[in-house]
Amino acid sequence: MPENKYNPREIEAEAQKFWEENKVFEVSEDSEKEKFYCLCMFPYPSGRLHMGHVRNYTIGDVISRYQRMLGKKSVAAYGMGRFWFTG
């Protein structure tokens, strides 16, 4: 068991420094790559959340990441008022 207590401010600062130094979130327009767009099902307030929701979003995420591995410019849209980009 670690002797130091978890310090979220310290961890967050380290993570942000790493992201900045490695340009993790820098985006470039690469028109040479084939584009792939994955629209996952929209969440509907027709009942309680269940594992089926997790399953569907996981499938879309995996497919988008696989397409990125194939060299495509991949975007995954999850229909929740924002986009999560995978590459």
The per-residue pLDDT for range 24-80, each reduced to its tens digit, is 878 777 678 888 888 877 766 677 877 887 888 888 889 988 998 998 888 777 655
Residue matched to tokens 């040479």: 32
Residue 73 and residue 54: Cα distance in Å, rounded?
A: 24
| The residue count for the chain | 87
53/62 Cα distance (integer angstroms): 14
Of 25 and 20, the one with more pLDDT:
20
Q: Is the pLDDT of residue 86 over 60?
A: no
